[in-house]
Amino acid sequence: MSHSFFEGTVYHKRYTPKVHEFTYPFYLLDIDLSLLDRLKNRLFSFEGVNLFSFSSKDHFGQSEDFMENVEALLQKFGLTSSENMHFVTLPRVANFVFNPISVLIRFEKNVPTHLFAEVHNYNGGRVVYPVKLTEKENRSYQGEVMKEMYVSPFLETSGEYHFFFRYDDGKMSLKVDLYEAGEKKLTASFKGTERPFKSMTVAKLFVRHSFLTFWVVTRTFWQSFRLWRKGLTWYSPTKLDQIRRY
């Protein structure tokens, strides 16, 4: 295994009270944690500034050592590290980053057993959702967890997330469905194809998706404006939703 990028598309669909959907191109960085010290090339830096980069301080934990934070997270939920673990996230682009969701995936003999979804909102809040995965069908895995943090101004801070994950044959897909009182409210998904972790890939991704992280933010506000125009109820975050939990 090794580091790689996955390039593809993000899809969002809101089902109630108004149907609203959109799709846009996207990519993610897949970090093989057994090779964390090799997370670098001419255009990518680990704990430094470059065209693309990765910084431990952007993610869970208090230590400047990313693997110490991973170990602490696993211990919190009664787990130990395995030889095969991956962290999937957006890299910093020209030292700027915003990650709506990153996932730590723990494998046992190449089978994903747990997924830890680190979710950030636009109010300074962060939470980590532990998801135990079970095989659904055809090397696809799923798990459920209760929602604990405000994310969208048009969704209540309640409900249950259903995660669906597949990772094989140079493809990766991650889908999250939100249910409230048994009713599906939202679907968000990413599907991508593997790209090698090389300087050339970094350059191509930058050209094809210039200012992607910036657009993650602006697209979110634009879609929120469109939903507001449709007359959806506006919810506000609590104080707990404005802090970095764990």
User: How far is it, in rounded angstroms, from Cα 139 to Cα 161?
Assistant: 20
Judged against a pLDDT cut of 60, whether residue 106 lies above it is answered with yes
| Percent of the chain whose pLDDT exceeds 70 | 87
For 8-17, 36-45, 226-235, which range has the lowest pLDDT when averaged over its residues? 226-235
Contact indicator for 100, 110 with CB cutoff of 8 Å: no
Contact indicator for 35, 221 with CB cutoff of 8 Å: no
- What are the distances in angstroms from CA 200 to CA 12, 46, 235? 30, 17, 44
pLDDT tens column, 179-198: 998 899 999 999 999 999 99
Whole-number pLDDT of residue 101 = 93
What three-state secondary structure class fits 164? strand
- What are the distances in angstroms from CA 57 to CA 65, 83, 101? 9, 23, 15
Whole-number pLDDT of residue 92 = 94
User: How far is it, in rounded angstroms, from Cα 195 to Cα 222?
Assistant: 30
> What number is the average pLDDT over the span 19-23?
83
Whole-number pLDDT of residue 223 = 53
More confident residue, 25 or 172: 172
User: How far is it, in rounded angstroms, from Cα 145 to Cα 97?
Assistant: 26
Judged against a pLDDT cut of 80, whether residue 2 lies above it is answered with yes
User: How far is it, in rounded angstroms, from Cα 1 to Cα 223?
Assistant: 37
User: How far is it, in rounded angstroms, from Cα 110 to Cα 113?
Assistant: 9
> What number is the average pLDDT over the span 167-176?
94
> What number is the average pLDDT over the span 13-26?
84
Whole-number pLDDT of residue 232 = 55
